[in-house]
Amino acid sequence: MTKSMLKIDALEKELTAKNRELEIEKAFEKVREVAMLMRQSADLQKIVNIVARELNNMNLDITGVFMLINNNQIDKQFTFWGSTGVAETYMKKAAIPFLDRPIYRVLAEATTKGERFLVEEYSRDEKIEFFEHLFKHPPYNSSTPEWKKQVLSREGGYTRSVSVSHYTSIFVVNHFGRRLSDDDNKILKRFGQVFEQSYTRFLDIQKAEALAHETIKQASVDRIRGEIASMRTSEDLNRITPIIWHELETLEVPFIRCGVFIVDEEKENIQAYLTTPEGKSLAVLNLSFDANDLTNNAVKHWKKNQIYKERWNKEKFINWAKSMIKIGQIQNVKTYQGSSTPPESLHIHFVPFAQGILYVGNVSPLSDEKLELVQTLAEAFSIAYARYEDFKNVEEAKNKIEITLNELKIAQEKLQELDKLKSQFFANISHEFRTPLTLILGQIESIMSGNIEVHEKGKLQIANRNARRLLTLINQLLDLSKLESGSMDLKARQHNIVSFLKNLFYSFESMAESQKISLKFESELKNIPVVFDPDKMEKIFYNLISNAFNFSVSKGEIEVGLNVIDSIVEIRIKDTGIGIPSDRLPHIFDRFYQVDGSATRKHEGTGIGLALTKELIELHKGNILVNSKEGEGSEFIIQLPQGDFEIKKDEFAKPQTDTSLQLNGFNLTETEEKIPVWDSSGSDNDDILLIVEDNFDVRNYIADIFKSSFRILTAQNGEHGFSMAKNEIPDIIITDVMMPEMDGFQFSKQIRSNEKTSHVPIIMLTAKAGFDDRMAGLESGIDAYITKPFKAKELEVQTQNLLKQRKLLRERFCKSTIIKPSEVSAISTDQIFLEKTIQKIENHFGDYQFSVEQLAGHLNMSISQLNRKLNALIGQPAGQLMRSLRLQRAADLLKQNAGNVSEICFNLGFNDHAYFSRAFKKQFGCSPTEFKNQTT
């Protein structure tokens, strides 16, 4: 060989080597390109194919190319991609059970260690054994017998070059036992590196993909949770299946139908919510556990928390749909199919979760990976559904409570409304009763006052008495309803409660005498000032005294006692009557309660009296207690705060402040309240002086003059003065002429024309002493004038004079049994009043139960008003007058010889002969019989 030839040869070799290098680089370029274009993990096969193809294109002396990925996973099963023979043949993945022979073991050891290159050689026998093992397993088991035969018949052993990297390995084999050249082994090594690089890229993509996948899954799960969390009612469950449908789509789970089954273990029932392939709600099936084989199997697996799979063909689907129509669960096969034809094949997958089953139906079976996704969905669904159930339960409980509360409220409102209507009706009807009753009473009385036979009169008296009782009762009921509605106002002022009660108490004198009951009145003090409403106090006291009489026995005693303990006035009303059993005591203040409620009870009554009494006392901020012993008697104790208890100013009779006075620039009330110059509450006088005067100083001056001899009342104008006079019935009035609102003349006229006040003497203070004034004064019934400025003495003397005149007049009549109104008073109103009073008494002569209260009622007055009026006019309180008139009538009848003593006694309402005789003797100085004998 020449030098140049050598050189050419060397150059040629170099060129060949360079060409080879170029070839190799080109091949690598192709592999890298595919690797770079790889977008998803599924592209791994492409890499395997291109590496194999390019390696085959290298014209190596090889029979096949094989690749291992995940080097460390080949201990039990030998997994590889491989191609034997032609380069274009697809690399197929094979998994061959491990064969414990060097031909397996060496490779396994090398790959698990990584990063090595090795060349192996095996004998023909070893080769044959190896292939026979291979041919038993897929995919080699399906190779043609010719090919298998060809492989096994090849001469020589089995040579292998292996390039091992960290993750991957490539090996090439020669079925004839020929070794690769060193250069070729180098090429293999380089291919190994390129494959490893490409595989690394695949791993990156796989990781990114997994991450993305997880994100999608998570988002899907989140959406399910969100949707379910927004569900409130069981109707919302219809929304579930479209949601599941949507999420299966997102998670790329293949399906043609899906649904959610809610399993109710208690009711052994399944609610199946199904959806169409379009994601619309398709049907809600209500199936019992044992409805059919499918439900049976589904429940059986659900209980064991196992996935249940079943395959349906077209026929089975149709049969199922028909059976659903039969039991009324679906209406139409077509809509249930979701398309015109039923699916050719349906693979049913039931994935269990705590409360039910997630159903996915697909044309082919779902892979494990997809089933796992479905399971994730089911779990997410389960958690959210549990929350929904909790929520629903709470909501339901809340709703139930709300409904109950609402019902309660409505019932309450109705009850209140009813109650209101009832008391209104009650008040209205009671009111309505009064008018006809008054008319009935008027008619009865008018007949009684005429000339009628004695026994007819007796009948009328019964009618009259009962009508009166009815009226009292109605008045009590009206009072109660007023109290209840809060419309009962308290006209409270300060009064001496001792004289007030004493007067009231002794008006029962004649009743006491006739029932042989002795009365006793005791008070530590002569004067106890208490703020109270006289009208209401009278009702209170009257009720208690009446009860004491009603439940007393003959020869008993009724005692009223007063004392003051720590500004609390205690009034005791004690009787020696039948008493109250201890078990009944707690109830006697209840409305309509009667100790003896039997039809045969001895005492009449309604059980209203004490209830009303108690409420009226409470209106005065006081309270009432009772002590009683059956057979021994009862004691009622009233405790009243003495004076300064808080009664709102407008609860008093009339506001003291007068607007017109304020307009004049002074506020007298304020001054008055600040400097009290007299304290009438401390006076123990029963005589009342009313001063009506707008000037504070004058008022004060007059009050000062009389403060020791009178209980003083003051008013700032005529109007106020008049209302005070009506309530209190003063013994004398001193009034100014010029006053705002109502002047002295108008005031006097009103006083004279009102029955309650017409008798009261009036002294007028006037600055003008002219004739006109006097005339006006006379017409308005003024008794005396004092011209301003006046001296105290002058006023005192004038007052005393007037009172003395009255006293003399009174004394004339106080023992008299014949009262001639025209002799008593020159004032027409007084005369009319007296006539009326006498008439009323005479009309009831035969009625031994006719009481002072009834008389006062007839005259539209309270007992104390009546007593004050009669005392002032004739010096006889009502009770006495009634007795006097009766006795006089008796005397007249005896004189006229109109009957025997007993008859006359009875006819005049004396039901007790002895009492009549005693009273008669006291009045006329001899017994009725003696009187009769003397006069006839």
**Chain positions contacting ligand ADP, by CB under 6 A:** 543, 547-548, 551, 575, 577-580, 588, 593-596, 605-611, 634
Query: Cα separation of 369 and 365, whole Å?
Result: 11
Tokens of 409: 């409220």
CA 104-109-114 angle, 5° bins:
125
Pick 548 or 802: Cβ nearer ligand ADP:
548
Cβ-based nearer residue to ligand ADP, 464 or 547? 547
What residue spans of 230-349 are helical by DSSP H?
Answer: 240-250, 293-303, 314-326, 333-337
Q: Provide the minimum distance between the beta carbon of 550 and ligand ADP in the complex, in angstroms, as a whole number.
A: 6
Cβ proximity to ligand ADP, 480 vs 904, nearer residue: 480
To ligand ADP, the closest distance from the beta carbon of 659 in angstroms equals 44
- Residue 461 to residues 292, 344, 847, 915, 917, Cα–Cα distance (Å): 94, 109, 6, 21, 23
**Which of 337, 226, 237 has its CA nearest to residue 278?**
337
Residue closer to ligand ADP (CB basis): 178 or 469: 469
Q: What is the H or E stretch that residue 94 is in?
A: strand 92-97
Going by C-alpha positions, the residue among 880, 887, 848, 885 that lies closest to residue 866 is: 880
Task: Return the closest-CA partner of residue 729 out of 869, 857, 827.
Answer: 869
CA–CA distance, 263 with 358 (Å, rounded to integer): 11
CB of 547 to ligand ADP, least distance (A): 3
Shortest Å, Cβ 449 to ligand ADP: 30
Q: How far apart are CA 755 and CA 729, in angstroms?
A: 10
Minimum distance of ligand ADP from residue 813's CB (angstroms): 36
**CB-nearer residue toward ligand ADP: 32 or 591:** 591
Asked if residues 508 and 471 have their Cβ atoms less than 8 Å apart, the reply is no
Sheet holding 269-275: strands in order across? Answer: 281-288, 269-275, 257-264, 356-362, 345-353, 308-313
Measured CA to CA, the distance from residue 445 to residue 464 in angstroms comes to 8
Instruction: Please tell me the distance from the alpha carbon of residue 713 to that of residue 733, in angstroms, as a whole number.
Output: 9
DSSP string of 346-379, one letter each residue: EEEEEEEETTEEEEEEESSPPPHHHHHHHHHHHH
Residue 584: CB minimum distance to ligand ADP, A: 7
Q: What gap in Å lies between CA 887 and CA 895, rounded to an integer?
A: 12
Closest CB 851 distance from ligand ADP, rounded Å: 15
Contact 180, 174 (CB under 8 A): yes
Whose CA is closest to 470, among 514, 436, 498? 436
Q: How far is the CB of 480 from ligand ADP (least distance, A)?
A: 11
CB of 682 to ligand ADP, least distance (A): 34
Q: Which of 581, 508, 515 is nearest to 541 (CA)?
A: 508
In angstroms, give the least distance from the CB of 619 to ligand ADP.
17
Identity of the residue, 193 or 475, whose beta carbon is nearer to ligand ADP in the bound complex? 475
Minimum distance from CB of 634 to ligand ADP (Å)?
4
Of 610 and 786, nearer to ligand ADP (C-beta) is 610
DSSP letter for 41, please: G
Q: CB of 177 within 8 A of CB of 124? A: yes
Rounded least distance, CB 559 to ligand ADP, Å: 12
Residue number with CB closer to ligand ADP (299 or 580):
580
**Residue placing its CB nearer to ligand ADP in the complex, 472 or 514:** 472
Residue listed under structure tokens 């000037």: 695
DSSP 8-state code for residue 93: E
Residue in the shown chain whose Cβ atom is closest to ligand ADP: 605
> If DSSP codes are grouped into helix, strand and coil, which group holds residue 279?
coil
Which CB atom, from 609 or from 718, has the smaller least distance to ligand ADP? 609
Q: How far is the CB of 541 from ligand ADP (least distance, A)?
A: 13
- Cβ proximity to ligand ADP: between 54 and 575 the closer is 575
DSSP string, 229-247: HT--SGGGGGGHHHHHHHH
Within 8 A by CB and 6+ apart from 406, the residues are none
Q: How many CB atoms lie within 10 A of CB 452?
A: 12
Residue 351 CB-half CA count within 13 A: 23
Burial of residue 301, with CB atoms counted within 10 A of its CB: 0-12 exposed, 13-18 middle, 19 or more buried: middle
How far is it, in rounded angstroms, from Cα 371 to Cα 374? 5
CB of 587 to ligand ADP, least distance (A): 8
- Residue among 553 and 742 whose Cβ is closer to ligand ADP: 553
Nearer to ligand ADP, 623 or 669 (CB): 623
Taking the least distance from each CB to ligand ADP, the nearer of 196 and 635 is 635
Q: Enumerate residues 6+ apart whose C-beta is below 8 A from 670.
A: none
- Helix, coil or strand: residue 297: helix
Tell me whether residue 251 or residue 540 sits nearer to ligand ADP (CB atom): 540
Nearer to ligand ADP, 470 or 827 (CB): 470
DSSP secondary structure, 905-926, as one string: HHHTT---HHHHHHHHHHHHSS
Question: Dihedral of the CA atoms 56, 61, 62, 67 (nearest 10)?
Answer: -50
CB of 515 to ligand ADP, least distance (A): 14
Question: Residues 542, 543, 546, CA angle at the centre, nearest 5°?
Answer: 80
Whose Cβ is closer to ligand ADP: residue 299's or residue 588's? 588
From the CB of 625, what's the least distance to ligand ADP, in Å? 13
Quick one: 624 or 873, whose CB is closer to ligand ADP? 624
In whole angstroms, the minimum distance from the beta carbon of 867 to ligand ADP comes to 23
Nearest distance from C-beta of residue 543 to ligand ADP, angstroms: 6
